[in-house]
Amino acid sequence: MTNLIVTISDYTNYGNRLQNYALSRLLSDNYGETTTVRFQTRLPTFRHKLIRNGRKIAGRIRTHIVRGERLLTLQRTRKCLAFTRKYIPDDRFTLTDYSGLKAAHGDIYDRVIIGSDQIWNYNWINRRDLELALGSFAPAGCPVISYAASFGVSSIDEDAQAVFKQYLPKLKAISVREFRGAELVTEMTGLDATVVLDPTLMLTANDWKTITEGFVPKDDKYVLTYFLGHPSDEQEKNIQEYAKKHGCKIRRILDMRDPQTYLAGPQDFVELFSKTEYVFTDSYHACCFSMLFHKQFTVFNRANMTGKSSMNSRMETLFRLFDLESVMMDAGLAPTIDYENVDRLLAEHRERSHAWLAEAMHN
């Protein structure tokens, strides 16, 4: 029995790579052979062209002398591509809007699992890609389910609704990552969808430590930052003050001010969270890994947004599930997190997510 995962193929995105690894491991450990399709969506930016043609572009860049930021970006991209080749190879099946699903060596699959991440965010893909992300390529009789799929939006326009209304009812079972996602499924189709844990939270801290490779030097004492937006001056001051007070340096993920940390691959991202003293972030998966490793953390609101207005659906769901609404701050430090309570809730949600998946995977 071969399980085929359909998710976004975003090779340099930490959260995307790690949720893909987690779901692949979850399925292979419990439900048989698992592989991931290489989903080549029509994404227009240079970053996504790099994702689609990473090796080819890297080869061209290598023929020139590269310096500074370009060299760091190339080195980081190599590490991310190597992670995919080692842990979640996607060379057996390719999915494109012009050819549908193609098997490299005549391989076959028995079940399709859609998710996780923002696989149903129609703002990133065209209509045909969205149909494929809903399992339209699967032949009749092949079970298709979604695990922790995310829409990435809180409302859906009429054109996209037509696609969802056509294909969601064909899924054998539907689970989503956010409460708002479950509401959207019901609003569009009348069907029920179950909210389950993001795949990264389905593995234990010890599970995650098995992929680390010693990226962080021994006795390295640091505060970790990971921002997708830009911290305000006041928020940056809070970071600096905390680091100084506790005798820590600051390591900054995806920040060119910290070239050593910028080179981190997905496995190094995990290690950085496992060994930090404290975390400042605005990232969903940074919160997940902080929780797994029992790290105190503060989530800063994005610039020009305050309070719950800046809390997107995935953050809102995560904080509701784990009683962590208080970690979201405009500035300052979040209250101390009670990890005894978090662990209790995590065990309960894992059990429910495992139960849902077992039922959905049962033929």
Dump pLDDT digits (tens) for 220-263.
Answer: 999 999 999 999 999 999 999 999 999 999 999 999 999 999 99
- Of all residues in the chain, the percent with pLDDT exceeding 70 is 90
Q: What is the pLDDT of residue 64?
A: 45
| Confidence class for position 307, pLDDT limits 50, 70, 90 | very low
Q: How many CA atoms lie within 13 Å of 78's alpha carbon, on the beta-carbon side?
A: 11
Q: Residue 99 corresponds to which tokens in the numbers above?
A: 């050819």
User: What is the spatial order of strands in the sheet that 194-195 belongs to?
Assistant: 34-36, 3-6, 111-114, 144-149, 173-176, 194-195
Question: Is the predicted pLDDT of residue 160 greater than 70, yes or no?
Answer: yes
Residue 64: how many other CB atoms lie within 10 Å: 8
- Residue 196, classed as helix, strand or coil, is coil
Interacting residues of 234 by C-beta distance below 8 A, sequence separation 6+ = 331
pTM across the whole model: 0.92
* Tokens 């998946």 found at: 357
Distance CA 285, CA 13 (A): 11
Q: Cis link prior to 116 (omega < 30° from 0)?
A: yes
CATH architecture of 211-344: 3-Layer(aba) Sandwich (3.40)
Range with lowest mean pLDDT among 65-69, 104-108, 115-119: 65-69
Q: What is the pLDDT of residue 53?
A: 52
Question: Mean of the pLDDT values across residues 144-148?
Answer: 98
Q: Please state which CATH class domain 3-203 belongs to.
A: alpha beta
Instruction: List pLDDT tens digits, range 54-88.
Output: 555 555 544 444 567 899 999 999 999 999 999 99
Distance CA 209, CA 205 (A): 6
State how beta strands 111-114 and 100-103 pair.
unpaired
Cβ burial 179-194 (10 Å sphere, 16+ → b, else e): bbbbebbeebbeeebb
| Confidence class for position 184, pLDDT limits 50, 70, 90 | very high
CATH 3.40.50 domain extents, the chain? 3-203, 211-344
Nearest to 53 by CA among 96, 22, 24: 96
Length of the chain: 363
